[in-house]
Chains A and B, each alone.
Chain A
Amino acid sequence: MVRNTKQSRSEIKRRRVLQGIGAAGAISIAGCLGDSDGDAPFDIQLEVNSDNDDRVQMVELIASSLEESGYFNTEIEDYEWNDYVARVMDPAYAEDGFVPCIGLSGTFNPESFCQALHHSENHGQCCNLNGINDSELDDMLDDARYGVDVVEDPDLRRERYDEIWEYLAEERYSSITHFDLDAAVMNTDVHGFSMFPFSESIFSYGLFSPQDEQVMWMDEDAHPDDTDLSDLQEGGTLRIGAAENPDSFDPPYSTDTTSTMAQVFGFEQLLTSDRDGNLYPWLAESYELVETQDIDRLAYEDYMDEVDVDEDGLPDTDEQIIIQHPEDDPADGSVRVLTPAEAADAVDDGVFGMQFRYEIREGVEFHNGEELTAEHVVATVERYENSDLSAQTFDSLLHAREVDEYTVDLYAQVPDAEAERELPGLYIHSLEQADLEGNDLDPREGNDPIGTGPYVFEEISDEQYVEYSRNENYWVTELGVEQIDWFDGPSEFPDGPVIDEIEVEIVPDNSTRSAALQSDEIDITYGLTTDDLDGYDESNDYVVRSIEAGGYEYIQYPANVEPWDDDRLRRAVNLLVPRESIVENVLNGWARPAWTDIPELAEENGTVDAAALEDRIRPYNEYDPERAEELLEEVIEDHDLD
C-alpha cells in the first residue's frame, strides 16, 4: 500500500531543510539545480510528488549531494500527487530514464520490502516503477515465499531472504533511504499505552491486547510514568484526534488508514498478532496446518474455465478470479481461470496447496446477538470476493469450507510461507451484514457496523466525530482472559478493555489538532509534524510514544536505460544518497536510516541474523563519495564518456 501522502501536506515549515542543505552543499541548491550547466558526465532527473514536503526535501538533499560530487547534472521535477501516480505507474515510464521517489508501507512480511519494488510482475503497477526485469531475482523472490521447503523450514526462508538482500545490495535497482517512525502524542491522563507498528491498529491494539499484555486506561491524577497495571482504573472516555474522515466502515471496501482505524474497534479476525508479528489464536480457539501438498498453480488447469478477454486483455467474467492460468496469453482472445465454484471442486478432489483448520471459539457473540460459527467465516470470505480487497485476499486463499458448526478450513492455492498469516486476515462479518452490497456496510447507509469486537459503533457525524462505546457482552470479558490458553500475563490484567467510551474527533489540520491536544480537547493524536514531536517530547505534560513502522521511502533507478543498466552507476548513486543527513535534517531524527533493506518488524522472517546482515550490507549503503568516485570513473572509462 502506498503511504498516505496527506499527512505532511499542509504546514510543515521549510526551516530545517536550509540547515540540511547547508550540510550538504548550499551552493548547489541555490545555484545549479534546474539550471545545470551540463558539464558533468551524467544527467539525472529525480521526480517527486510536490504535496509531500518531507519527500521533496529529501530529494533536494539527494540532488545536492549528487551535484556536489561533480559527476551529475541534476534536475528535480515535481508533480501533483494524482498526476505523479498516473505518470510513474505508466508501464512506458520505465523507458524514460527518470529516477522516481515514492513511499510504501510494508508489513511483517519481508516480501513487502523487496517484491513490490523489484518483481517483474509488478511493473506498471505498484511499485516496480522502472520496470526492473531480472528473472534471477524474480525466481529468488518466489522461492523465498512459495514451496514446501520454505513452508516447512523457516530458517531456509530466512537464508533465502538474506541472499535477496545481498543480491539487491550488488544490483542496487532501488535505494531505500529510511524507515519511518510512527509516533503518537498523548496527555498524561492516558496510561498503559504502547504502540503497534501499523497506524491503522494503534488505538484498537492499545486499548486491549492480551498477547502483549497491553491495556490502556484513563487516570487524571497520576503521571503515566508512575503507574502500572495494579493502578488500573475502569471507565472514562478516550478522545482521539484523527487526521481524516473515515471514508468507509465496510472492511472489504476500504483501504485508507483512518477507515481501517475506525473499523477495527468493532471487527476482529480469527487470529491476532503481537507487536513483533507473532500470531495467536483469537476468534479461533486453536488452529493447525493439516496438510501441505507440493503443487504449483498449474495443478488447477483441469478445473479452469475458458473465458473471453475484453479489449483490455482481461477476463470477461463477474466471478472472482482466484487463479488465472499462468501460461495463457490474453492476446489469444481467451484465458483459463479458476473461479470459486471450481476451486471448491478442486478441494473436493484433494487438489490444494495447504489446508489450515480453525476451531472456532464457542460463545462469541456479535453486537447484534448472533453467535459466531463457521458459517460466518465462509460468508465473510464470500463477501471479500470481487471487493476492493479481493486481489490481496485471493493472493493466497483458495477456498473456505465449513467442517462443522465450530470448525472451518481455509485452503491455500500453493505451499506458501505467508499463508498462515494471510489466509485468516479477514474481518469476520455478521450474517445479517454478509449479503450487503459493497460499501453499504456503513452507518451513513443505515447499517451500523456489527462485529465481535470490544467496542460498539454509536454515532458518526461526518467530518466531525465518530463515537464508540464498550461492548458489554464482549466475549473475552464473558470468558475471562485467563481462559485463553496462551495468555500468561499477570492476574491484574483485566478481562477486556476498561475505557468506556471512545470519541474520535476528526481534525485534518495538523496545527489545529496539536492545539486541541494542548487545550485538552483530545487525549491522544498522531501524524503531527516532527517539529511538534520534539516539543512534546521535551514536555513533562505530554508523552510521545513511537515505534519503527512499516513505512519506507525509496528512489528507483531506470535500469533498462543506458547508462543506468550499469550496476556500478546505480551503486555509486546509492553511495551518494545521504541517508544519515536525510533522517537528521529532513525528519528531525524521527526515522531510521535504511542501512539494510529490511526494517525491524520484518526481521523475524526476513533474515537469519539482523546484526550480521547489517554488517555485510551497510558498507554498500553508507555515504561514501570516494568509493562512488571510483565506480563512476570506471563507468566513464567503459562507456567512453568525458
Chain B
Amino acid sequence: MSLRRFILKRILSIIPILFGVSLITFALVHLTPGDPIDQMVGVNPHVTASDEAQLRDRYGLNRPLWEQYGVWMGNVLTGDFGQVYSNGRDVSAVIMMRLPETIALGIFGWVFGLAIAIPTGIYAAVKKGQLADDASRFIALSGISIPNFWLGLMLILIGAVTLSLWPVLPPSRQPLYHPYMLWYLVLPGITIGTAAAASIMRVMRTSMAEELNKEYVTAARAKGLPEQTVILKHVLRNSLISVVTLAATLTASIVAGSVVVEVVFNWPGLGRELINAINGREINLIMAITLFTGVFIIIANLIADILYAVLDPRIRYD
C-alpha cells in the first residue's frame, strides 16, 4: 500500500466514525430529560401549556426523534446548525466567534505541554534511575493528579493576585492576535497543558530508555559520536514515534480540559459556551459543539496516523 492509498483509506474510514459521533451526540442530548422550552419557560407562571406546545411545534421538538435526527443531519450537511433558541442567533455564527479563542488556548496548552514534556522526558531517560528520573516521575504523577480547576485557581491566586504578573481577566478589548495575548495565555496554557505534559513525559522517557538499549546506539557510541549527537539525532527521532501518536490523542484531553479552564480564566471560548448551552438546554448548540469537538479529535488522530506512517514506514505496509 502506498502512502497515498493509506491516507485515502484513513480519510474514508472517518465517514462512518463521524456518522457514529453524530448519532451518539444526538441521542445523548435527546435522551436526557428536559428541553430548551422547559428552560425558556422555566417557572414563569404566565406561560401556558399551549404556548409551550406552540413553541415545541415551531422548533420541531414534538416530531419523532428519528425525524428530528434526519432533519438535523440534513441541515448539518449543508452547514446549518440551527439557531440558539433563547436569542435566535445562528449556532454556526456562535461557534465561529468562539472557535478561534478555543483553538488559540488549545494550541498554547499543547505547545506548552510538549515544551515541558520532551526535554524532561529525555533528561529522565538519560538519567534513568537517578534523582532526576524520580523527580520527573513525581512531577508527572502530580501533573496527572492535580485537577485543572484547582491548578488554574492557584495560578490565578499566585501569578495574578499575589505577584500581579498577569491580569485575572483576559484582555478582552485586545484582538486575539495581539502580542499581549501570548503573555496572558501563559497561565491558562500551563493549566491546560499540565496533564498532557505529564503523560507525554512518561512515554518520552520510556521509549527513549528503550531505544537507548538498542544495538545501534552502542554502535554509534562505538563509532565515537558525541553523546549529544547520539541522543538528539538518532535516539530522539526513533523514540518520537510513540510520542507523536500520544500527543495527537491527548488533543482530546486538551479539548476536554479547556471547558474547565475557560470558566476559571473567564476565556470566552467554546468550552464556556458549552457550559452555558448545557445550563440553558440549548440542544442545537450542545450538539454542534460536541460534534465539532468530535471532528477535531478525529482529525487530530488522523494527522497522528499519517505522521506515524511517515515516521515509521513499516506501518503502511501492513
- A residues whose Cβ falls under 8 Å from a Cβ of B: 2, 6, 10-11, 80, 82-83, 85-86, 89, 116, 122, 125-127, 245, 247-248, 255, 310-314, 388, 390-392, 439, 442, 444, 461-465, 505-509, 511-512, 515-516, 518-519, 521-522
Contacts and interface: CB of A to CB of B under 8 A. Distances in A.
Given A512-B264, A519-B167, 19 more contacts: A2-B43, A82-B34, A82-B281, A126-B43, A310-B50, A313-B50, A390-B46, A391-B46, A444-B89, A461-B172, A461-B268, A463-B268, A463-B273, A465-B173, A508-B266, A509-B263, A512-B266, A518-B161, A519-B161
Interface string B144-169: 00000100010011001100100111
A391 B45 CA distance: 9
Contacts of B44: 126, 255, 388
9 contacts: A82-B34, A82-B39, A126-B45, A245-B276, A247-B87, A461-B173, A509-B263, A509-B266, A511-B153
A313 to B, nearest CB: 8
B43 A127 contact: yes
Nearest to A389: B46
B43 A85 contact: yes
Given A247-B86, A521-B168, A463 B272 contact: yes
Contacts of B264: 509, 511-512
Contact of A312 (B38, B42, B49, B172): B49
A85 B53 CA distance: 17
A86 B168 contact: no
Contacts of B33: 82-83, 86
A86 B34 contact: yes
Given A464-B172, A515-B161, A518-B161, A125 B50 contact: no
Contacts of A248: 87
3 nearest A-B pairs in the assembled complex, by CB-CB distance: A391-B46, A312-B50, A125-B45
B228 interface: no
A591 B225 CA distance: 75
Interface string B28-41: 00000110001100
Interface string B51-65: 101000000000000
Nearest to A312: B50
B279 interface: yes
A515 B160 contact: yes
A314 B172 contact: no
A324 to B, nearest CB: 11
A255 B46 CA distance: 12
B62 to A, nearest CB: 13
A439 B86 CA distance: 10
B71 interface: no
B97 interface: yes
Interface of B: 33-34, 38-39, 42-46, 48-51, 53, 86-89, 97, 149, 153, 156-157, 160-161, 164, 167-170, 172-173, 263-266, 268, 272-273, 276, 279, 281
A85 B266 contact: no
B147 to A, nearest CB: 12
A85 B45 contact: no
B276 A507 contact: no
Contacts of A444: 87, 89
Main secondary structure of the interface of B (DSSP, over half): loop
Given A82-B39, A507-B169, A519 B164 contact: yes
B46 A392 contact: yes
Nearest to B268: A463
Nearest to B172: A464
A512 B156 contact: yes
A457 B157 CA distance: 33
- Most chain B beta carbons < 10 A, residue from A311, A313, A314, A439: A314
Contacts of B169: 505, 507, 512, 516, 521-522
Contacts of B88: 439
Contacts of B38: 82, 85-86
Nearest to A104: B43
A85 B157 CA distance: 37
A520 to B, nearest CB: 9
Contacts of A312: 48-50, 53
A465 B53 CA distance: 35
Contact of A512 (B34, B265, B281): B265
Q: Which residue, A314, A509, A518, has most C-beta atoms of chain B within 10 A? A: A509
B168 A6 contact: no
A507 B49 contact: no
Contact of A519 (B45, B86, B168, B273): B168
A2 B44 CA distance: 8
B276 A516 contact: no
Contacts of A462: 97, 268
A519 B50 contact: no
Contacts of B172: 461, 464-465, 505
Given A515-B157, A519-B164, A314 B45 contact: no
Given A312-B49, A312-B50, A515-B160, A89 B43 contact: yes
B158 to A, nearest CB: 11
A515 B168 contact: yes
B149 to A, nearest CB: 8
Contacts of A125: 43, 45-46
Contacts of A86: 33-34, 38
B289 to A, nearest CB: 14
A463 B285 CA distance: 15
Most chain A CB within a 10 A radius of its CB, from B42, B160, B264: B42
